[in-house]
Amino acid sequence: MPEEKIYIKNGTLIIEGLLSKASKETGVVICHPHSLMGGSMHNNVVEVLQGVYATEDYSTLRFNFRGVGGSTGFYDEGRGEQEDIFTVCEYLKKKGLTKLVLAGYSFGAWVGSKVLEESNNPFVDSIFVSPPIDYFNFNWDNLNNKIDFIICGDHDQFCKIDVLIQVAQKINSPLEIISDADHFYMGKEKELARILRKRVIEHHNKKT
């Protein structure tokens, strides 16, 4: 499905996004990597996530966190970015999308994890790609049974795989490790898409 450029207002803040509408009543919120390190909704992994979910008939919304691209405001160390996620979720709900899936990559996974901890967490399903556990503090005790799938490369520069394996077991999250892939997945996009599509077809579709 084609994507439409949208702008979502939250007070004085404007969030820029790309929306693709499908027939399912499920929307996928896709969160990009670190805003101060070149992360945006046009990142290669973000585009893989969008493409796979759209192909499986999910509506998708990838967006720029505040201070990135056409989104106004400034980087807020994850606090304001959590608000951005809630803002786009409310937008999708107003569009009639009754179920929401979180797809977070890197920094987007960390910010997304903070939303999953909240009592008003809007997501019915979630997937994390390369959560940067060496760089950011994840509150794993509050995330038990809340992250439905994790994907990571075995050469990830910001995530020790042996630690991630232990964490995934602790919080009951299935983990898929991609051989010879680092944090950025350059040249590994097709393998990432294959694993994600398999997961969406076999598991996500049952919940959404």
Beta-carbon count within 10 A of 169 CB: 10
Beta-carbon count within 10 A of 137 CB: 8
- Output the pLDDT for position 1: 74
Strands 4-10 and 26-31 come out as: unpaired
Give per-residue pLDDT as tens, 38-89: 999 999 999 999 999 999 999 999 999 999 999 999 999 999 999 999 999 9
- Output the pLDDT for position 136: 98
- CA-angle at 136, arms to 130 and 139, nearest 5°: 95
Give per-residue pLDDT as tens, 146-196: 999 999 999 999 999 999 999 999 999 999 999 999 999 999 999 999 999
Long-range contacts of 76-83 (CB under 8 A, 24+ apart): 78/107, 78/110, 78/111, 78/114, 78/136, 81/35, 81/111, 82/111, 82/114, 82/115, 83/10
Give per-residue pLDDT as tens, 75-109: 999 999 999 999 999 999 999 999 999 999 999 99
Cβ(150)–Cβ(174) below 8 Å: yes
Report the Cα 16 to chain-centroid distance in Å.
Answer: 16
**pTM score of the predicted model:** 0.97
Mean pLDDT value of segment 140-149: 97
- Output the pLDDT for position 180: 98
**Percent of the chain whose predicted confidence (pLDDT) is above 90:** 96
pLDDT tops 90 at residue 208: no
Q: How many separate helices (H) and strands (E) can be counted in the chain?
A: 6, 8
- Output the pLDDT for position 108: 99
Cβ(204)–Cβ(57) below 8 Å: no
Closest to 15 in 3D by CA, of 93, 96, 89, 88: 88
Mean pLDDT of the chain: 97
Domains of the chain: 4-207 (3.40.50.1820)
